[in-house]
Structures are given as structure tokens and as C-alpha cells.
Amino acid sequence: MDEKSRILEELRGSFEGPLWLGPPVREILRDVDAKLASARPIPGRHSIWEILLHVTIWEDAVRQRTRGEPAWVTTAEQDWPPVGASDEAAWREVVDELERVHAALVDAAAALRPEDLDRTAPGQTYTIGYMLHGVVQHTLYHLGQIALLKRAATVQL
């Protein structure tokens, strides 16, 4: 399998599965509602909602960088945006936005030529290919946090 195909498989697999490590994003989020997403079962730590906003920001930043656009996440508030409304409709919109951003990232990666993967990402010292592998790792890292928060919150709720 060539590198571009491997990256696309990782991007798609992280959301749709199958994953070697466990359930993909869609499966983990399937039964999360606004109450669970807002819960803070571990004091001083991010909620599922906050983590999902953060993951969405970075999937979009990587999508933009694959198109040659510079990084735009430069402040703590951009990196970890605050939760606005916390009702069920707002939660569904956050999940839908992640789905849209992820689909756009997959499309952007699919549009790359193989040689683009060796290009340096705008404003970075690493390549586009390395960055795309990294965003999958980033998403899966936070997916593990979400799974733990779900378990902890379910015990408390």
C-alpha cells in the first residue's frame, strides 16, 4: 500500500473503523448526549464537549495546511474553544461539525499528489504526510480520553 492510501485508510478508519485499538469516533460518540458531553467526572479536566471542539479545530487546521494555508491556531482559546450553548441541539451541531470537518480533511488528503506528502507543512518543520499521520494520532489520543470520561461520567450520573 502506498503512503497516501495508508493515510486515507487511517483517516477513514479513525471515524468509521475498523480500528485495531477499539471503537472508532462515530461509535464512541453514538450514545453521548449533551448532559454526558458536558459532565466533568474528573475535576479540573476537560469535558467530552471541550475535547470534541479541540479535535475539530485541529482537524480543520490540518485540512487548511494541506492546502498550503498557514497555521491559525495561535491562542489558548483557539486551541480549546469555550463551550457556548450546552443543550441537545448545540451538542448535535458540534458532532455534525466534526463530521463535516473530518470529511473535508479526508477530501483534502485525497486530493494531494503523492509528492505533496513530502512537502513541508506551512509554517512547520515537518512534512504534510507526517502531519496527516499526526492528526490521526491526535484524534485517537483524545478518543481514548473521551472513552474514559464516558465511563467515569456514567458511573457518576
Q: What is the pLDDT of residue 72?
A: 77
Percent of the chain exceeding pLDDT 90 equals: 83
Share of the chain above pLDDT 70, in %: 99
Q: How far apart are CA 104 and CA 48, in angstroms?
A: 22
Average pLDDT of the residues of the chain: 94
Whichever domain contains 70, its CATH number is 1.20.120.450
Confidence of residue 157 (pLDDT cuts 50, 70, 90): low
Cα 6 from Cα 12, distance rounded (Å): 10
Residues 6+ apart with CB under 8 A from 129: 3, 7, 117, 118
What average pLDDT score do residues 1-27 get?
Answer: 93
Domain count, the chain: 1
Residue numbers of the domain that contains 61: 3-156
**Tens digits of residue pLDDT in 62-111:** 999 999 988 777 788 889 999 988 899 999 999 999 999 999 999 999 99
